[in-house]
Structure 1
Amino acid sequence: MTVLHLLPYLALLFPVPAALAARPLAARLDPRAATWLLTACALALASLSSAALGILAGAGLIRLSLAAWAGHWSGAAVRAGDPVTWTEAATAGLLLAVAGYAAGRMLWRRTRALVSAGTEAACLPGLDQVVVVEDPEPDAYALPGLPGRIVVSTGMLQALDENDREAMLAHERAHLSGHHYAFVAATHLAAAANPLLRPMAEAVAYTVERWADENAASACGDRRQVARAVGKAALATRHTPSRRHLPAAALGLLGWRRDALATAGPVPRRVAALLAPPLPSGPLPALDWSLVPLAATAFAVAASGLCAFAAAHDFHLLLKIAGA
């Protein structure tokens, strides 16, 4: 039964190469494709690593007399064929409980933030999508809701000229139309369940900003204008205090405030990408070394899935033999 003993551990380790490949993929793929790919891979790897922990914990659980009685298994057959020790099973069970608690807490916080954002969007004055608020501090962000709203402070309007404002609003509209908060929430949920996936969540926080930048560039017809607007907003908000208590901040849609421009979407990387020729759209980069991180990510997901499936199959055979 060496398969049952080894494969769950391999499934727990495969998120590492995927996490290492996250930043190169975010830089080399079309932002929209990178966002979808990284989000899907993060959710898959989090689910598979949780399944691996469950298999290890289950391998210890079936040794209990009560479990053997309930499942009509032979305790001696289980002990003879099960290589997982009590220590391994208990550790896996504890890690699975911690992962479940962290993921559940993250899901609850994101759900509350989404409801709060929707409520705030509905309570904003006027019927227009764009709402201007009296605030000398430069600020702009998107609030998802029915309908979604874009909040812009008078301080931000004063810091940008007409063309910059057009780029900013196109950026925020892209956040709303692309439902970018869902991608950010999904990857943060995966990272809560498996902390090894945090680089993938950070990469998605960057790719959604890049996705919105590219949409703004298409809407304005001038990539350099969007790059200038990003740079000017960064300068305008460099002394703006953090506002992480806002629903938009909790959802990861920090818009054009200091938090997003300094962390989620680093200004130099975003500006450099806008000043460079646009990346080819589609799920695959050019046929060169940029395929290496994509291959590493695909291998990590496929290998983790194979290991988890094989371990689950072996666990099933153990139960079948013990019940014979």
Structure 2
Amino acid sequence: MLLLVLAGPWLAAVLLTLFLPRLGVLFTPRWLTTVLAVTGAALALATWMSALAVATIVAGAGSAAARVGAVLLGGWLVWTLLGTVRHALRIRANMRSGRLFRDCPDRVGELLRVESTIPDAFAVPGRRGVVVITSALSSALDDDELRAVLDHERAHLAGHHSLLIQAVQLAACLNPMLRTWGTAVRFAAERAADESAAAGDRVATLRAVARVAVLCSAPPRPAWTGIAGRPGEVIRRVDALQRPGPRRQPGWLLAAAAAVVVVLSFDFVAVADLAQDRVVPERGEPAGQVFGLPIRF
């Protein structure tokens, strides 16, 4: 039983990472973005806590080799935790730098047009989020394409895509096994914004994505999401827009995803209780018990 509790999150992380490309087929882009963010965060917390519990168990084994192993595992845990904190600080810095756009007096509602010779458009998240578009890009697009670009960026703000992307990136800092999830959730967010814009005019959105990708050569920003996206993904997005829009998301798939997150959450709480009992045992409850129940191999 103890082995299942400790190894379960890691097994789930391996299987879901291998199954990651298939999730893009099962879920619509809008729901995939949320599912990847929530599940990735749950996996990171559960696996990290599982590793911490293993370190406490190994440390109490008594042998010198076990103690060395516990120290090495503990060092890895500290390293990943520090990496997560560093990334969180970078996110905070990026959000603060976004005030330059969010608090700009020239904004009109949630739109800010900037005079620049560099074609670009992106969404700046946060309180009073704003869509920024440069004069070079807006003048290069026709009215329908410009509307599609603005609808795309508004969809990023409405869907809180930056928050979801950063949640997965923080999860990858805590568990490097989840690094591929960052690429997957970013692409899902772009596809979700594409489909939101395509609801108004699918052909214009397709043209806008292709044209903006050619015009915008700046690399993607870590905290802001722009319609240009990553160069290697534009072809896949254009190909998807040439097909009919996604069907309605089946409810049972959402229920299955929610069940996975619930199980991981219970596992996290159980393993955290086990680790706490190893470090600071509760009065009357010996180490190796979770919620007062014995846990055995």
TM tier, shorter chain? Answer: 0.7 to 0.9
Equivalent residue for 1:274? 241
Q: 1:29 aligns with which of 12, 27, 30?
A: 27
Q: Residues 165 and 308 from structure 1, CA distance in 2 versus in 1: closer, same or farther, beyond 3 angstroms?
A: closer
Is 2:75 the counterpart of 1:108?
A: no
What SS does the corresponding residue of 2:131 show, helix, strand or coil? strand
Q: Which structure is larger by alpha-carbon Rg, 1 or 2?
A: 1
Give identity over the alignment, percent.
30
Rounded Cα–Cα distance in structure 2 between residues aligned with 1:156 and 1:226: 15
Rounded Cα–Cα distance in structure 2 between residues aligned with 1:302 and 1:147: 33
Q: Residues 308 and 171 from structure 1, CA distance in 2 versus in 1: closer, same or farther, beyond 3 angstroms?
A: closer
Is 2:254 the counterpart of 1:256?
A: no
Aligned residues: 282
Rounded Cα–Cα distance in structure 1 between residues aligned with 2:214 and 2:53: 51
Equivalent residue for 1:175? 156
Q: Residues 114 and 137 from structure 1, CA distance in 2 versus in 1: closer, same or farther, beyond 3 angstroms?
A: same
Equivalent residue for 1:41? 39
Contact 1:103 1:189 in 2 (8 A): yes
Equivalent residue for 2:205? 226
Rounded Cα–Cα distance in structure 2 between residues aligned with 1:31 and 1:189: 21
Rounded Cα–Cα distance in structure 2 between residues aligned with 1:39 and 1:14: 15
Structure 2 gaps, min length 5: 289-297
- Partner letter of residue 226 of structure 1? T
Equivalent residue for 1:92? 73
- Partner letter of residue 45 of structure 2? S
What SS does the corresponding residue of 2:227 show, helix, strand or coil? coil
TM-score (normalizing by structure 1)? 0.75
| TM-fit CA distance, 1:307 | 6.2
Contact 1:11 1:305 in 2 (8 A): no
**Cα deviation 1:190-235 (Å, max 9, x = unaligned):** 11111111122211101111111111112x2x21221111111112
What SS does the corresponding residue of 1:131 show, helix, strand or coil? strand
Rounded Cα–Cα distance in structure 1 between residues aligned with 2:218 and 2:275: 53
Q: Residues 312 and 178 from structure 1, CA distance in 2 versus in 1: closer, same or farther, beyond 3 angstroms?
A: closer
- Partner letter of residue 233 of structure 1? V
TM-score (normalizing by structure 2)? 0.82
Higher relative contact order (CA 8 A, sep 6+): 1
The alignment's C-alpha RMSD in Å is 3.2
Q: What does 1:121-160 align with in structure 2 at a 5 Å threshold?
A: 121-160=102-141
Is 2:89 the counterpart of 1:118?
A: no
Rounded Cα–Cα distance in structure 2 between residues aligned with 1:109 and 1:170: 28
What SS does the corresponding residue of 2:122 show, helix, strand or coil? strand
Rounded Cα–Cα distance in structure 2 between residues aligned with 1:316 and 1:234: 51
| TM-fit CA distance, 1:303 | 7.2
Q: 2:215 aligns with which of 204, 213, 236?
A: 236
Rounded Cα–Cα distance in structure 1 between residues aligned with 2:268 and 2:127: 40
| TM-fit CA distance, 1:261 | 4.0
**Cα deviation 1:67-87 (Å, max 9, x = unaligned):** xxxxxxxxxxx75xx9x9223
Structure 1 gaps, min length 5: 64-77, 286-290
Rounded Cα–Cα distance in structure 1 between residues aligned with 2:2 and 2:72: 16
* Greater share of helix: 1
Deviates more, 1:307-316 or 1:152-161: 307-316
Q: Residues 182 and 191 from structure 1, CA distance in 2 versus in 1: closer, same or farther, beyond 3 angstroms?
A: same
